[in-house]
Homo-oligomer: A and B are copies of this chain.
Amino acid sequence: MKVCVIGAGAIGSLFAAHLATVTDVSVLTRRNEHAEALNQHGLKVSGRHDFTVRVTAVAEASELPEFDLGIIATKATGVTGAAASLAGRFPGATIMTVQNGLGAEEIVRAQGSWPLVSAVTFMSGTKHSDTHVEYVLDTATWLGPYADTPYERVQEIAALLVDSGLKAEALPDLLPAQWSKLIFNATVNGVSALTGLPHNEHFAAEENDSDLGRLVHGLVDEGKRVAASAGVNLHDDPWEMNVLATKRGSAHYPSMLEDVKAERPTEVELINGALVREAGRHAVEAPLHGALYALVKARESSYS
């Protein structure tokens, strides 16, 4: 199964490097220098694993070789462009999305009729350079079929990921896991972006009325009511995910915090926006998530 990874940030680089140890991998980058550096030096993984592999990288989608599996590993804000760059080609390929939030699959579907696989990933990495990514958290990627994609295809992809040294699991229905992560991300990313706090112990503190953990718990409970109204049984409790994550040594800097600090567009639409729209669709109140969504969007509009 030949693979193409579209987008070589931390997550895309981790997929590309590991998969390149077991199959042919092409990488589509945004910048030409990035592609050239990868072709010249290969891609180095440090941290949990330690190796360097050869990959074929291009900065123009028209130069991509054929592939059987395309992994769109851009940020949520890059999915439209990534899918559009593949439109009308690679009819035999399956496309997998791994974005935070909900709705990436629909964006890809609008650009073509490839079979789609949904994924959520809990692994994390730090990109030290265009050709070096550190594998930080070796937690799993979960995959499920989207629409009428055969489940066997999902199982094949999960097996390939496991062969490559990553943790992965195929699930017949990804929604419970996708929604657990959606509620977790909408809450933690939104609060972090607005307060400037990394995901630290404040997020689990509930002793006093004005402790941040009370708000976080309220946001999680509200998200769970939206999930229930959408008929989704969560795979993990987002509050437990939150408490666990805050106990993990050094505090994680959520991407939405990094985005607002750098005055970049955030993933708020596919995360907080998606949750608020689901609440509206199922006629359930979500005032706290509505507030986070409006505040983060307003923060974006304050960029100079």
Contacts and interface: CB of A to CB of B under 8 A. Distances in A.
Output the residue of A195, A196, A298, A301 with the most chain B CB within 10 A.
A298
Given A287-B218, A291-B288, A294-B212, A202 B276 contact: no
A38 to B, nearest CB: 36
Main secondary structure of the interface of A (DSSP, over half): helix
A302 interface: yes
Contacts of A218: 287, 291
Given A210-B297, A276-B209, A294-B214, A195 B302 contact: yes
Contacts of A191: 295, 298
Contacts of A210: 273, 276, 290, 293-294, 297
Interface in A182-220: 191, 194-197, 202, 209-212, 214-215, 218
Interface in A249-304: 273, 276, 280, 287-288, 290-295, 297-299, 301-302
Nearest to A218: B287
Interface of A: 191, 194-197, 202, 209-212, 214-215, 218, 273, 276, 280, 287-288, 290-295, 297-299, 301-302
12 contacts: A194-B195, A197-B299, A209-B280, A210-B276, A212-B295, A212-B298, A214-B294, A218-B291, A287-B288, A288-B288, A288-B291, A291-B292
